[in-house]
Structure 1
Amino acid sequence: MENRKVYLDKHTNLLQLEEHMYPLVDVEKPNVFRNLFRYDEIPKIAFNDRIVPHCMPDEIWITDTTFRDGQQSRTPYTTDQIVRIYDDLHRLGGPAGKIRQSEFFLYSKKDRDAVYKCLERGYRFPEVTSWIRASKKDFELVKEIGLKETGILVSCSDYHIFYKLKMTRKECMEHYLSVVRECLETGISPRCHLEDITRADIYGFVIPFCLELMKLKDEYQIPVKIRVCDTMGYGVNYPGAVIPRSIPGIIYGLRVHAGVPSELIEFHGHNDFYKAVNNSSTAWLYGACGVNCSLFGIGERTGNTPLEAMVFEYAQLRGTLDGMDTTVITDLAEYYEQEIGYQIPAATPFAGKNFNVTRAGIHADGLLKNEEIYNVFDTEKFLKRPPLVAVSNTSGLAGIAHWINTCFHLTNGNQVDKNSRLVHMVKEWVDKEYEGGRVTVLTDEELLTVIEDTCSSLGIRLGGQA
């Protein structure tokens, strides 16, 4: 105890007592946390009520894996599609570069062509980085292209070390460190992807391994990043949950016990248990500067943390968008659906076609009186998408009036209200449709035809008195 160092934490401005060292625990049998992860049972979330403090970094950012993990579950993008999306990511990230990096495969000519074309854009952000296999041949490819950073897979749970790699922890660590050293020898900054960290022995393998990585960082004077990969989505953000499932506990351990600076910690989440967004936000709150995301959450199995979700999480946590252009999200959604042919689920927040559409008549009545009542924020300002009402048998007079006002861009004195003759006649037509056995929502084309015919019979023009 007497030899432990006392130092000043620059973030909290409090004196801290250095924790004891964490040597590698080289077990004979794998520790797969069978008490938490019985394969024939649902995984368990256990608690020990050990609470770690929030430690939001001075600056936080988003990184992108649309062209890497995002391509592992869909038809590969063409070179032109990658360049177009990359351009939009640059616009979305804004002048401050809040979308800091984007990672690419390098194996096919198509991928390499896309990398060259993106580099030609000359953008500072998102920085083009790569993801490679842990081989010297791949390092040379990164160097040849001129990239400054690359991701390297370093699986860290005993599931992978013992069952997939067929190694001991000591053999595995030595192998990983030799690979990272080779990368550093080429002058390239390695980004170590700690796969399956939420089933890993954090203090028996992960912390000792990261301590060695930080020594290499100091030796070569080249940044060594740590990507916290919640590969199976087991991570939880609950205070007092036990590691390895605790995201706060993992981030705290890396910062405090392994000495990894916040700017070198990045969280990569999967959505198997619907927790990708919450876990990413939690990683920010407890000391990770970066969260790694994919557009619209497209990725392996249930997908990654949706990039557009973290744009709005950023704004909520920081109180500002810091120059990010959120209208680009709508541009990207339209491009995916119209040009790429990918159908975004209609209820997807911020991007789905129905995310701000209401079908309930009582909600429509509220929207008609004041859209703040039933809309999350000014979606027309931030996403170029005003709140809409889908007309069905439950929409009521208010829903039809709101639909007409929105569709025809009627404002102020030109708006129709639920008491107008036009709205009542359209409502009568809608009721007859459903009385006749209809069960589907009415299409825009049908409504436009009915409204046009009704206006003609009434001798009115929308924009005038209705």
Structure 2
Amino acid sequence: MLSFNKKSNLLELGQYKYSLQNVEKPNLYRDNFNYDEIPKCTFNHRLVPMNPPNEIWMTDTTFRDGQQARTPYTVEQITTLYEMLSRLGGPKGKIRQCEFFLYSENDRKAIRACQEMGLKFPEITGWIRATKEDFKLVKDMNLQECGILVSCSDYHIFNKLHKTREQALHDYLEIVKAALDYGIRPRCHFEDVTRADYYGFVVPFATELKKLMDEYQIPIKIRFCDTMGYGVPFPGATLPRSVAGIIYGINHFAQIPNELIEWHGHNDFYKAVVNATTAWLYGASSVNCSLLGIGERTGNTPLEAMVIEYAQMRGTLDGMDPTVITEIAEYYESDLGYQIPDRTPFVGRDFNVTRAGIHADGMAKDEEIYNIFNTAKILNRPIGVEINKNSGSAGIAYWLNQYLGLKDEKIIHKNSPEATILLNWVDSLYEDGRVTFISKEELIEAMKTLTPHLFALKKKK
């Protein structure tokens, strides 16, 4: 079928027929995935065009996948975080949905409590196993959309489910039909897609889902789950690991609209963020994330990272409030007892802190030199300096000006007597064998003793 693509202004062949390949033995892609070796990334140099959707957004799995990797949240903790997600996503709903388990009474209480808050975004959705009996839970909770696990790789179909591809496809379609009969929007979780036979199972399955969608006139979303983090963003990489190929192909070959394509990545190979951004670039409207990246094994795509990625890709925050990211990080540490690694971008205690004197000297002259953006304005996280053996007088002067709130002609310079006095004190500590950095409390006590006139300035304020 020929059609004119108004986006590319080209006449294109829009209908491709890929039939299910019901193989007798599983295709485990042993050239790529030899279990006794690090997985190989192969290339065939075939490039697909970038195809960014008109609108992109995020969804959240903090209370589903994220909850599989930590102590279960209480109802109060869930409602607190849900409200923060709503403020972070802003009035345009850039954090569009938030998914929940349905199985425990605590899960259902949390859903009801969030529903009672009356927030437009994020929409509350569910997740169930691929069994018809579970749809009653979805209806009882008055949810409009629910995720259904439909494992796609032969690792799962043959080795876990002990089925053929034909049997798996038949059973999955029966479950999807059951959801449609209930009037529920299905979200099909194509588990382990980066080890699945793309043209032999993934595209034929998606094509059948498109037929059901046209028949029932109910949207069916496809969530591509990079369950093991094997996806790669590189141009010319081969399937099944190519994120670009997976996303572009399902839109082009199975005619699944951009707004119904979602990416759910894991971080096993440090590629969760770049793979999610690649999914956006090649046609997925939605990327699924969790707060702080908390999820199975190495975690999911961090939601806060994709908020910043969105702003980089679109040149605007579109009403999102990134200062809430700092609130969320503080809540996790103070109320949930979760220790965020110090160097985690945007949320770790050290992400915009320097201990090097040469960096502090540069920031004293112009903070743009060593700060990624205005973190005080955008994240409500002013830049910081911690004092150690490498801080020098410049680091001490910067810390003093920040702590005392000194500006313009009142600032203390690195060559000032006060900076020299405190530097000598710091140097003496390290000469005596100290190896740790010096805390804020220790510096304040030293200032009281060695430069009391400076401490008096703070007291006056």
TM-score range, shorter chain: over 0.9
Structure 1 residue 462 displacement after superposition = 5.0
Q: Which residue of 432, 436, 442 maps to 1:436?
A: 432
1:312 to 299, 308, 312: 308
Query: For 1:429 and 1:399, how far apart are their aligned partners in 2?
Result: 14
What's the offset of the Cα at 1:422? Answer: 1.1
> How far did 1:124 drift?
1.4
Matches of 1:160 and 1:325, distance apart in 2: 40
Contact 2:404–2:457 (CA under 8 A) maintained in structure 1 = no
From 27, 31, 47, give the equivalent of 2:43.
47
Instruction: Name the CA shift for 1:223/1:381 in 2 (closer, same or farther; >3 Å).
Output: same
Which position in structure 1 is the counterpart of 2:7? 11
SS in 2 for 1:164: coil
Shift of 1:405: 1.6
- 2:154 corresponds to 1:164: no
Amino acid at match of 2:54: D
SS in 1 for 2:69: coil
Q: Distance between the aligned counterparts of 1:10 and 1:254, measured in 2?
A: 19
Query: Cα distance, 1:444 vs. partner?
Result: 0.8
The total of aligned residue pairs comes to: 460
Q: CA offsets, 1:145-172, max 9 Å, x none? A: 1100000000000000000000000000
For residues 78-89 of structure 1, the aligned pairs below 5 Å read 78-89=74-85
CA contact (8 A) 2:128 2:146 kept: yes
Report 1:200-215 matches (<5 A). Answer: 200-215=196-211
Question: Which letter does structure 2 place at the counterpart of 1:379?
Answer: T
Task: Identify which of 165, 180, 187 aligns with 2:183.
Answer: 187
Cα pair 2:129 2:148 within 8 Å, conserved: yes
1:451 aligns with 2:453: no
Report the Cα distance in structure 1 between the residues aligned to 2:92 and 2:15, rounded to whole angstroms: 37
Question: Of residues 132, 151, 156 in structure 2, which corresponds to 1:155?
Answer: 151
Three-state SS of the structure 1 residue aligned to 2:151 is coil
Alignment of 1:285 with 2:251, yes or no, is: no
Which amino acid counterpart does residue 228 of structure 2 have in structure 1? Answer: M
- Say whether 1:62 aligns with 2:58: yes
Q: Does 1:34 align with 2:30?
A: yes
Distance across 2 between alignment mates of 1:6 and 1:407: 67
TM-score by length of 1: 0.97
**Aligned in 2, Cα 1:46/1:458: closer, same or farther, shift over 3 Å?**
closer
* SS of equivalent to 2:120: coil
Q: CA deviation at 1:385?
A: 1.0
Percent identity over paired residues: 61
- Secondary structure at 2:333 match in 1: helix
Distance, in Å, in 2 between the alignment partners of 1:207 and 1:356 is 44
Query: Please, which runs of 5 or more residues in structure 2 have no aligned partner?
Result: none
Residues in 1 aligned to 2:341 and 2:456: alpha-carbon distance in whole angstroms? 38
Q: Distance in 2 between matches of 1:412 and 1:143?
A: 63
Pair 1:244 & 2:231 matched: no
Aligned equivalents of 1:421 and 1:298: distance in 2?
Answer: 47
**8 Å contact from structure 1 (residues 344, 351) kept in 2:** yes
> For 2:210 and 2:297, how far apart are their aligned partners in 1?
32
* 2:374 matches 1:374: no
**SS of the residue 1:184 aligns to:** helix
Match of 1:302 in 2: 298
The 2-side partners of 1:135 and 1:155 are apart by 13
Cα distance in 2, alignment partners of residues 302 and 59 from structure 1? 29
**1:410 touches 1:463 (CA, 8 Å); kept in 2?**
no
Q: Any idea what the Cα deviations from partners look like across 1:163-210, whole Å, max 9, x if unmatched?
A: 000000000000000000001100000000000000000000000000
Contact 1:192/1:224, CA 8 A, preserved across alignment: yes
